[in-house]
Structure 1
Amino acid sequence: MRNLIAFLVTFCCLSAQANYAEFFGSHPSTSGIGNQANTNIYDPANNYYVPALMAFSDTITFATSAGSVSTDFEPISNITIKNSTNSTTTEVGNASTDYDSFFGATVHATLPLGYKGAGPISVSVFTPLGKVIETNSGDAALPEYVMYRSRYRRTLIHLNYAHKLTDQFAFSLGTHVGFQAGANASTNLSLNGTGFGSSGGAKSEVKPALAGIFSTIYREKNWSAYFTFQQEMKSNLEAKAGGQINDPTAALFQITIESMIYYDPHILRFGSSFEIGNFTFLGSLEYQLWENYKTPVIRVKDRGGVVKPSDDYEKLKLRNIPVLKVGSILSITDRFSLLGGLSYKPTPIEGNFVGAGNSIDSNSLILTGGARLGMRIFGKDVDLSGGIQYHKLEEVNVVKTSNQENGNSGSKIGAPGYKVGGSVIAASGGLRIKF
């Protein structure tokens, strides 16, 4: 039975997380200015933030990058890790906040259609290096930084068509593509002493999930303003398992395993840029709608048999959040630029984490920087760029309330308390080619 459950949980976890660009930028040329568009019509990395901008590009452009992310969260030690809600004993110990480093890559391309004035197709791909998807639902009871454990460790594709209506105005339509998976399994288990062995069967599927993208932009020589709407993408996964004992025949378990292992919120993005001398100033405001978010915890439901379903003591309070981003580009020469940016991202999770449950997050201040070096190689314009980010999470001191999650006397999981906070560092390097 244990191997069967592991199979189902594995397939439940074969789904996508919120994308890398949301956290760390689509390319060093955008991450260095606070994770927003740089409004360069020949930079296909802008396809993530304002795909309508690419309508003004009349040539093939290509960009790629590789990056790494490492976390350094506050240690959580000497807390209650077991009580009567998850064990037959009470135990004090530590919760792991040492998450694996992430290594990822991005690829962007803009391809003008053959018909004059038709507009280009742009594609952006974000993926873990050497993997398609990397997931971890985390511990169901212990403190987990649910926005960082594995949300950005997934493959994502953005595909957009952009069309220029006038020399100043353009729009785009497109989609972002994720993946979902499910499984169904059944077993017949034979006890020792029977004359035949156990048997079973399983089936699974992985399929794409689509969500819409719309953007529009108005641009003049020295300034521009744009709007982008990105539809939410979520997956309520369901895997069913059943089994029975042969000789004598007896029901063993009938369960459903559910999880929302990823969630991309609705995003309304407003942005602008303007140039003054050697400076380009950029700003954007995103409004993200998080009311449909669920943590990636695996939930087990009993459909008949001897399995007890998961308890659901944690009741998350969610809020929609504004995310402010500002940045600047200093063009020292035509070929060399310095990038800088600042962003503030509130947590969508309301509350102080003192009650039942330990899904944790906090507001973050994001400092960004980078550089761009241009050159000519074989008659083509090539840009090399690098970016670095420092995310500082606001410290929150958690002091758990009395009694266990089920109301019995004793200590909650996480008691007496712990500190939420820490930092995240992301670094990336990449190139861009204009053909």
Structure 2
Amino acid sequence: MEKPMTLRITALVLIVFLNSGICLANFGEMFGASPSTTGIGNQANLNPLDPSNNYYAPAALAWTKAISLNASGATVNMDFESIKNVTTKNSTNSGFDEVGNVNTEYGNYLNGAVHATLPIAVNGAGPLAVSVFTPMGNLIETNSGDPELPEYVMYRSRFRRTVVHLNYAHPLSEEWGFSLGTHIGFQAAADVQTNISLNGATYGSSGAAKSKASPSLGAIISLARRFKEYDTTAYFTFQQEMKSNLTANATGEVNDPASLPLLIEITSMIFYDPYIYRFGMTRSTAAYDLFLSLEYQDWSGYKTPVVRIKNKGGVVQGSNDFEQAQAEGILVPKIGGTYNVNDSFKFLGGFSYRPTPLSGEFSGAGNSIDSDSFITTGGLIYSSKLFGKGIDYSMAAQYHKLKEKTVVKSANEENGSAGSKIGAPGFNVGGTILVGSFGANIAF
């Protein structure tokens, strides 16, 4: 076995070891908290008996006196533009040039979500509310993506993680509600010591590893105001940024049979959720409900999830890190509504627009790509009885259309030498995402 291949295997084992024990975020931001909120444009419906509002506007649950439960499942299908006949290898990542195709098939995804409110049995107190999103069959699905080929970095695996939101909502008066809570992430670190022996040596390879994962908390603060005379409720929610970093140090030696020291640091920001400032309102009548919201998302702390390798004094060459991705704040407007056909059936509809937080035209060094998305949603709620308790069955669908753009790679390789950049001569960015969900909501 060649020495470079041995070092690659060592790094691969380390990354797999790290990724096996971390819990991250975020499905709700991308595709909605439940069918009843997805169907109106991925925003709060402000129904105090629907605990999925805990994700968007927990203060709106302050007046809830009933135990309520909302459970749902969703499937996500992504279809991005194919990328063919582009440069996939040059002198920055290989000993030869190569032209080929890039895999843009990220597979289907199944997600489950459970929301609940539990009133506290103290006079004047409000409820505790919890929201949990998780990949079906897994606690986490992590994939940092290809470090050099074009990647839709917002869609590869960012939402394929367990999310927990916990809030306490308190009624300040009949008109004002307040909530305070947290969403949960983790930081992970590991140290690996290796003694790699190549084929032909008289002794085998050995190693030792240790790791730790510590929770990190992001604040959630929400305020709601009811205007009963106008059948209107307004709210504001602040959500602190949440990031989860993987950091690992690998030390040891490769015996060839001469001893070659191995000392590297591996880092990756495997997920990032932005600061969110959310304003919203609803207007209710006997026949319909209107929902409006506007989010400002601050992405200034974002880094792409690519794995970065730094040489700390051994023989391993660090990663190139040519890309310097820049992210900026975005405004996300949403509008939705419901139409009450009768006491049993309600139709849902909505629209939202999500600009990409990544700046630039993607023509320079780097592989991260994204585009603005136009999101159309719809759904249906059927209200019935189960064991004498009111239950709402809901289903929803949403269609994301990514704005099409053409990327033309600039001249020269990433390091400035003559040649073609990876991804050259260029490719189209765009695609569609289809999401379907089904769930039920019951209050006791």
Q: CA offsets per residue over residues 309-368 of structure 1, 9 Å max, x none?
A: 000111212210000000001111122100000000000001111111120000000000
Please tell me whether residue 431 in structure 1 is matched to residue 440 in structure 2.
Answer: yes
Please tell me whether residue 10 in structure 1 is matched to residue 16 in structure 2.
Answer: yes
Pairs within 5 Å for 1:89-104: 89-104=96-111
SS of the equivalent of 1:305 reads coil
Please tell me whether residue 210 in structure 1 is matched to residue 234 in structure 2.
Answer: no
Opposite residue 130 of structure 1, the aligned amino acid is G
Q: 1:245, CA displacement in angstroms?
A: 4.1
Q: What is residue 143 of structure 1 aligned with on the other side? A: 150
Opposite residue 9 of structure 1, the aligned amino acid is I
CA contact (8 A) 1:157 1:176 kept: yes
CA contact (8 A) 1:12 1:259 kept: no
- Quote the Cα distance in structure 1 between the aligned partners of 2:256 and 2:284: 80
Opposite residue 154 of structure 1, the aligned amino acid is R
Structure 1 residue corresponding to 2:412, chosen from 395, 400, 403: 403
Please tell me whether residue 107 in structure 1 is matched to residue 108 in structure 2.
Answer: no
Please tell me whether residue 367 in structure 1 is matched to residue 376 in structure 2.
Answer: yes
- Quote the Cα distance in structure 1 between the aligned partners of 2:256 and 2:153: 45
CA contact (8 A) 1:16 1:262 kept: no
Structure 1 window deviating more from structure 2 (185-194 vs 121-130): it is: 185-194
Please tell me whether residue 346 in structure 1 is matched to residue 360 in structure 2.
Answer: no
Describe the shift of the 1:167–1:311 C-alpha distance in structure 2 as closer, same or farther (beyond 3 A): same
Pairs within 5 Å for 1:22-421: 22-191=29-198, 195-221=202-228, 222-245=231-254, 250-421=259-430
Opposite residue 118 of structure 2, the aligned amino acid is L
CA contact (8 A) 2:299 2:329 kept: yes
Q: 1:304, CA displacement in angstroms?
A: 1.4
- Quote the Cα distance in structure 2 between the aligned partners of 1:417 and 1:193: 46
- Quote the Cα distance in structure 2 between the aligned partners of 1:113 and 1:154: 30
- Quote the Cα distance in structure 2 between the aligned partners of 1:130 and 1:401: 43
SS of the equivalent of 2:12 reads helix
CA contact (8 A) 1:257 1:298 kept: yes
Q: CA offsets per residue over residues 96-119 of structure 1, 9 Å max, x none?
A: 101111001000000001112111
Opposite residue 176 of structure 1, the aligned amino acid is H
Describe the shift of the 1:199–1:342 C-alpha distance in structure 2 as closer, same or farther (beyond 3 A): same
Describe the shift of the 1:186–1:427 C-alpha distance in structure 2 as closer, same or farther (beyond 3 A): same
Describe the shift of the 1:421–1:165 C-alpha distance in structure 2 as closer, same or farther (beyond 3 A): same
CA contact (8 A) 1:81 1:94 kept: yes
**When the two structures are superposed, what TM-score results if normalisation uses the length of structure 2?**
0.95
SS of the equivalent of 1:337 reads strand
- Quote the Cα distance in structure 2 between the aligned partners of 1:11 and 1:122: 34
Opposite residue 186 of structure 1, the aligned amino acid is Q
- Quote the Cα distance in structure 1 between the aligned partners of 2:134 and 2:25: 12
Q: 1:249, CA displacement in angstroms?
A: 6.4
SS of the equivalent of 2:59 reads helix
Opposite residue 35 of structure 2, the aligned amino acid is P
**When the two structures are superposed, what TM-score results if normalisation uses the length of structure 1?**
0.97
- Quote the Cα distance in structure 1 between the aligned partners of 2:309 and 2:366: 17
Q: 1:198, CA displacement in angstroms?
A: 2.6
Number of residue equivalences: 435
Q: What is residue 3 of structure 2 aligned with on the other side? A: none
- Quote the Cα distance in structure 2 between the aligned partners of 1:329 and 1:356: 46
- Quote the Cα distance in structure 2 between the aligned partners of 1:35 and 1:203: 41
CA contact (8 A) 1:11 1:181 kept: no
CA contact (8 A) 1:12 1:258 kept: no
Q: 1:134, CA displacement in angstroms?
A: 0.2
- Quote the Cα distance in structure 2 between the aligned partners of 1:223 and 1:163: 19
Q: 1:9, CA displacement in angstroms?
A: 1.1
- Quote the Cα distance in structure 2 between the aligned partners of 1:49 and 1:434: 19
- Quote the Cα distance in structure 2 between the aligned partners of 1:415 and 1:68: 34
CA contact (8 A) 1:163 1:171 kept: yes
What is the root-mean-square deviation of aligned Cα atoms in Å?
1.5
- Quote the Cα distance in structure 1 between the aligned partners of 2:427 and 2:198: 46
Opposite residue 30 of structure 2, the aligned amino acid is F
- Quote the Cα distance in structure 2 between the aligned partners of 1:377 and 1:350: 51
Q: Which consecutive unaligned segments of at least 5 residues does structure 1 have?
A: none
CA contact (8 A) 1:13 1:261 kept: no
- Quote the Cα distance in structure 2 between the aligned partners of 1:326 and 1:61: 26
